[in-house]
Amino acid sequence: MLDALFDTGKLVKMTITVLEIFPTSTTTPPKPSNKPGDMYVVQMNPESYTVNYQVNYNLEPAQGDPGAEARYLGSANPTAEFTFLFDGTGVVPPPAGPLDNIPIAGAVAGLIGGGPTDYDVNTELAKFSKVVYAYNGTDHRPRRLRLSWGTQQFDGVLTSLAITYKLFKPDGTPLRAEARASFQESIPAVVRENRDKKSSPDLTHRRTVIAEDKLMLMSQEIYGKPDYYLEVARANKIFNFRKLRAGKAVFFPPLQKSNP
């Protein structure tokens, strides 16, 4: 009933969630983690954000030439830049929990919830950093992330984080901070290939060997026929193609390069 009554006034907060990757499977896409502390809900949605695209070219001229044609090398993964506000002054209401998406009920909950002292900037920054920046001992790297805001979704990794502290209590405790964060898109091969439908044998493909994989069957999957497994073995310097080591990365070159 309340959802129907206040549906048009719902405020959708951006969430940042850790993605779980399954390194032993080349066909299972990542999924959002449901472990405690693996999701962060922003206090206030960003006022704006920037998405950067970069195209790389080789501009090196041949010897004796005054210039060169821009030869396309590839496109870098896009990056997204956000500024997140952490405010403990009471000007920005802290998240009210399950009633946060109901404007009137959420406001009442904020009034009786204890006031601005409930939101501690240092504590919130620690929670935020644990999700986006902290080193993950299992993967031996920072987390892979999913940023969700309404119908928008961005999967990537944190590339930079700068925190500016702006207001302080007399004892130096921060009351307000801004975190400028940059994320670069990072999509596992299985998701990227499903999205882009890159099944052409004219493209270079990469596969990670799992138990019981056979080079002939992998060639069949990539090229549509198993006949090119010897060329793949030579390209990857595989001497015993009948026994592939699980976890090994195998590259399948374009047909026109391996078979001129």
Summarised one tens digit per residue, pLDDT across range 175-232 is 999 999 999 998 776 565 555 554 455 556 777 787 778 888 888 877 777 888 888 8
Average pLDDT over residues 6-20: 76
| Tokens 């449901």 -> residue | 34
Instruction: State the first-to-last Cα distance of the chain, in angstroms, to the nearest integer.
Output: 68
- pLDDT for 237 equals 86
| Tokens 């969630």 -> residue | 17
Q: Residue 24 above 70 pLDDT?
A: no
Residue 212 contacts residue 24 (beta carbons within 8 Å): no
Q: Are strands 15-20 and 39-41 parallel, antiparallel or unpaired?
A: antiparallel
- pLDDT for 81 equals 97
**3 state SS of 188:** coil
- The pLDDT-based confidence of 248 (bands split at 50, 70, 90) is confident
DSSP assignment, residue 98? Answer: G
Q: Residue 113 above 50 pLDDT?
A: no
Q: Residue 94 above 70 pLDDT?
A: no
Average pLDDT over residues 102-120: 53
Average pLDDT over residues 46-57: 92
- pLDDT for 243 equals 81
Distance CA 78, CA 183 (A): 9
DSSP assignment, residue 9? Answer: G
- The pLDDT-based confidence of 109 (bands split at 50, 70, 90) is very low
- Extract the tokens encoding 236: 């990857």
pLDDT tens by residue, 209-224? 877 788 888 888 777 7
Residue 128 contacts residue 180 (beta carbons within 8 Å): no
Indicate the CATH number for domain 2-190: 2.40.30.200
> What single letter denotes the amino acid at residue 161?
L
Domain positions in the chain are 2-190, 204-258
Which of 13, 222, 1, 21 minimizes the C-alpha distance to 141? 21
Residue 140 contacts residue 108 (beta carbons within 8 Å): no
Q: Residue 146 above 90 pLDDT?
A: yes
Average pLDDT over residues 144-173: 93
Indicate the CATH number for domain 204-258: 3.10.350.10
Average pLDDT over residues 50-77: 80
Residue 241 contacts residue 229 (beta carbons within 8 Å): yes
- The pLDDT-based confidence of 107 (bands split at 50, 70, 90) is very low
Q: What percent of the chain has pLDDT over 70?
A: 72
- The pLDDT-based confidence of 115 (bands split at 50, 70, 90) is very low
Distance CA 39, CA 183 (A): 16
- The pLDDT-based confidence of 133 (bands split at 50, 70, 90) is very high
Which of 59-63, 78-82, 202-206 bottoms out in mean pLDDT, i.e. has the lowest? 202-206
State the average pLDDT for the chain.
78
